[in-house]
Chain A
Amino acid sequence: MSTLPRPTEAGAGAVRPLTRIAGALPTVLSSLLAVAIALLAGGVVIALSGQTPFPAYVALFEGAFGGRRAIAETLVMATPLILGGLGFAVASRAGLFNIGLEGQMVLGGLCAGLAAAWNPGLPLYVHLPLALLAAAIAGGIWGFIPGILKAKTGAHEVITTIMLNYLAYRISTVVIGREDLVLVNPALQATQPAVDNASLPLLLEGTRLHAGILLALLAAVVVWFLLYRTVFGYKIRTVGLSQGAAAYAGISWGRTIALAMLLSGLLAGLGGAVDAIGLHGRYYNVMLGLGFTSIAVGLVGRNNPFGVVMAGLLFGALASGATRMQNTAGIARDIVYVLLAFVILSVSALAVFQQFQQSRRQTTRARGMTYDRAADEAGEPLVEPPPPPRTI
């Protein structure tokens, strides 16, 4: 699932800034193109449902970016998705498809909610980190389990993480339903409200914007640094791209993927936490599907930390705009999910297309065809001749 990374884009140190921007430009452009295609296709669906697309999109845009509150709401919606998307990206870089973000987020939210509802009178700077730590540990364990299973037995992570998603839902339901537990409110199907000292502080009066967005942005920087500047990140990327080369370099595949899954789950757990102790002030035992949307965020963001931030903001904007679209243009919120689906489809299609082009270019060179440096630097496409049809 992971798209081929562009090492020159983020990998190496002193790339000339211009080159770097130019290198990233096609990615940005193609993502915008993908969004445009999705909006067009969505417009057709809106028209087919008997509405007019243009006012709907105006409402969508206003709801996402029209003013302080709209922007704040976009950021709020984006926060858990960025963290979840980062989790997806880390696993993908190691060559794993973490479909268990949902379960990791559920347990992260639950543990953060429980830790925040507990009131021993700790100061903010102790209690809040403690709540976040609880979420990180819970999500991390939930990611580590499929990682270690795959490392030791080869059990496929897609299967194990899906099973663990169900298990996480059930655990959440059981814990929240316990009448004897003072930290939960079974009637409300939620934890008790988070105490102030364990809540992510509000950033902007009159909005719901909380400090979770800062945590998400910080996490993106940390993940980028980890992946592209540390030995551990190098190992993750090597393992994800070539198990043969990893073995050759003495990198333990099992250890690396297990740790990558731990990190992936940890990030997802934080994603669950920001929603609980940032947005809602408590953990609700409701299936939000944030983990599944996060997969899309990771894919659209091309598993690049900064791409994930952008994709998270895009999805946040769509989610926030959807409410306005529903209220003012009278269009069902569900149409936004159709739009999201179109975005994912067109981004994936473009990614596959580019990967195809890139691999053709690589085979051209690998087969030792004349390497025209001038043409290459001028950015001319070097395309392998189409493979001859097999003949018998």
Chain B
Amino acid sequence: MTNRDGNVAAPAVEMRGIVKRFPGVVANDSIEFAVRKGEIHALLGENGAGKTTLMNILFGLYHPDEGEIRVDGRPVRFHNARDAVLAGLAMVHQHFMLIPRFTVTENVILGSEGAGVVLDRAAARERVADLSARYGLQIDPDAVVGALPVGMQQRVEILRALYQGGKTLILDEPTALLTPQEVDELYSVLNRLRESGDTIIFITHKLREVAAVSDRVTVIRRGRTVGTRQTAETTAPELAEMMVGRAVSLRVDRPPAHPGEPVLVANDLHLRGTQGHEALAGVNLELRRGEILGICGVEGNGQAELIEVLAGLRRPDRGQVLLKETDVTATGTNPRRRLGLSYIPEDRHGRGLVLPFSLTENVLLGNAEEAPFSQGGRIDYPGSRSLTERLMGAFDVRAPGPDTPAGALSGGNQQKLIIARELHREPDALLAVQPTRGLDVGAIEFVHKQLVAERDKGRGVLLISFDLDEVMDLSDRLLVIYQGRIVGEFLSGQVTRTELGLLMGGRALDEHAPAAD
């Protein structure tokens, strides 16, 4: 292995011919993966491609069935995570493993308190402050972690990794919970780490992040290495094709919208949340036929409550919901469904599906009381079953058959089943909440096409997603929600990511120099 200067240097991490089998699945099939010292190396692959398994092997959590791992040129065999930490590896998990009531220092030293009985808190605090300053993390060592924003909490995780002596940091999908600004700040932290000689492995399934931050990228698909590229010398379409195994369209093909009359209208919705705060503080919106209306915002700013009120799961404290000019504020989900409102819920497992139920029984969800699914209280199972078969064909739901339990399907196929069930009713308005969460590129493409197709059939689509790119790509009109209020409205293409990011973070656009466009 040669580095940029042409000198021979041992890679920071080298994994050769890694095989890991689980019963019925080969999660890693002779994977080759090498990371140079001092680079940011993206590990790109769809959900289930084997990225996490590979990193768990590297980190000593799984033992490979075959293959060899070298760290700094030396062959290693890790028996557990502690061995990996001692070898200079550190993992920053997707879901932070922090104790909210502890201070930053307390969290950082957790697990490396040392063997002594008395904790040298002052020394630890000093070291934490030191590290924070050296890498420009700007973290107060005495802050209570629970009170920090998500982006800061992630830095605490990074700080902990550094504190433990990590020279090679593994970041598992680190941007999943961040706002665009926080993502940018993360990138600069990573760049500073690289400049001071640390190595970073960046696990992701988003092409944009690969381009933004990595020096090189290794793509894996179905447990095999597809290839490694210099980021600067590759293109997004090439990477996408490597990742999916076929050419995929990355841009949503979206002809101009022709919005018609309003189909779903919310007037001055107020709702008190479970913690007593105002979850919805006077939301007004108007969804028209033939448009995709996107709502962007950081999670927890009233999106969940808004959807529940619109879908009929909760009554607002004040305000009005009109569906096709009918006041439905006081009705539940089923009357709205009958009137022409379909709903793709965010929580596939907890709300959209009953996992132990067969696909047929899941298609009955929300439909069971109506013809042709039932008559006189008796469910027509043969009829429902053949309808399910038809829907599976039409929406490419891959499963052995309609009697398969929904829990046995992949996330993409589960989502396709939900979409099939909801669209088969030919709704006038469709609520789609995080419709592509956790799906792979192929399934995302499918879902996006369906939403655009619905729009083009003259239906109104309300899209809520925490993935800003998705909302910006798909929506004809954008609303920004912040603390239960709509704080901005834009037509597609007339707003930048930066502007949306500022509004999502609660700042008004005129406080800062607006990005000119």
Contact = CB atoms under 8 A, between A and B. Distances in A.
Interface of A: 4-8, 11-15, 229-232, 234-235, 237-238, 241-242, 244-245, 247-250, 361-362, 364-373, 375-377, 380-385, 388-392
A338 B326 CA distance: 64
Given A229-B379, A241-B356, A392-B97, A380 B23 contact: yes
Interface in B47-80: 47-48, 53, 56, 59, 61-62, 80
A390 B378 contact: no
Interface residues of B, number: 74
Contacts of B353: 242, 245
Contacts of A11: 357-358, 360-361, 381, 403
Contact of B81 (A4, A13, A391): A391
A10 B273 CA distance: 41
Given A231-B377, A365-B409, A368-B412, A248 B366 contact: yes
A371 B222 CA distance: 11
B408 interface: yes
Given A250-B312, A370-B223, 15 more contacts: A6-B356, A7-B358, A11-B381, A241-B354, A244-B351, A248-B343, A248-B366, A361-B407, A367-B411, A368-B412, A368-B438, A382-B23, A382-B24, A385-B53, A389-B61
Interface of B: 20, 22-25, 27, 46-48, 53, 56, 59, 61-62, 80-81, 91, 97, 110-111, 222-223, 311-313, 332-335, 337, 343, 345, 347, 349-358, 360-361, 364-366, 368-369, 374, 377-379, 381-382, 385, 398, 400, 402-405, 407-414, 438-440
Contacts of A241: 354-357
A389 B81 contact: yes
Q: Could you say which of A229, A232, A234, A235 has the most chain B C-beta atoms within 10 Å of its C-beta?
A: A234
Contact of B408 (A237, A249, A376): A376
B357 A249 contact: no
B364 A247 contact: no
A384 B62 CA distance: 13
A362 B355 contact: yes
A380 B408 CA distance: 13
A380 B24 contact: yes
A388 B484 CA distance: 38
B76 to A, nearest CB: 17
A293 to B, nearest CB: 28
A249 B377 contact: no
Contact of A373 (B349, B400, B402): B400
Given A234-B361, A385-B53, A248 B333 contact: yes
Q: Could you say which of B381, B405, B412 has the most chain A C-beta atoms within 10 Å of its C-beta?
A: B405
Contacts of B53: 385
A365 to B, nearest CB: 5
A234 B368 contact: yes
B22 A383 contact: yes
Contacts of A7: 356-358, 361, 403, 405
A242 B379 contact: no
A229 B24 contact: no
Q: Could you say which of B97, B311, B355, B398 has the most chain A C-beta atoms within 10 Å of its C-beta?
A: B355
Contacts of A376: 24, 400, 408
B111 A362 contact: no
B25 A372 contact: yes
Contacts of B23: 380-383
A284 to B, nearest CB: 39
A139 B349 CA distance: 36
Nearest to A243: B350
Contact of B222 (A249, A370, A373): A370
B128 to A, nearest CB: 16
A76 B103 CA distance: 68
B334 to A, nearest CB: 3
Contacts of A4: 356
B350 A8 contact: no
A5 B356 contact: yes
A245 B350 contact: yes
Nearest to A380: B24
Contacts of A388: 56, 61-62
Contacts of A244: 347, 350-351
Given A235-B368, A390-B97, A392-B97, A368 B358 contact: no
Contacts of A14: 381-382, 385
Nearest to B314: A247
B61 A392 contact: no
B381 A229 contact: yes
B414 to A, nearest CB: 8
A237 to B, nearest CB: 8
A13 B56 contact: no
B419 to A, nearest CB: 14
A389 to B, nearest CB: 7
B398 A362 contact: no
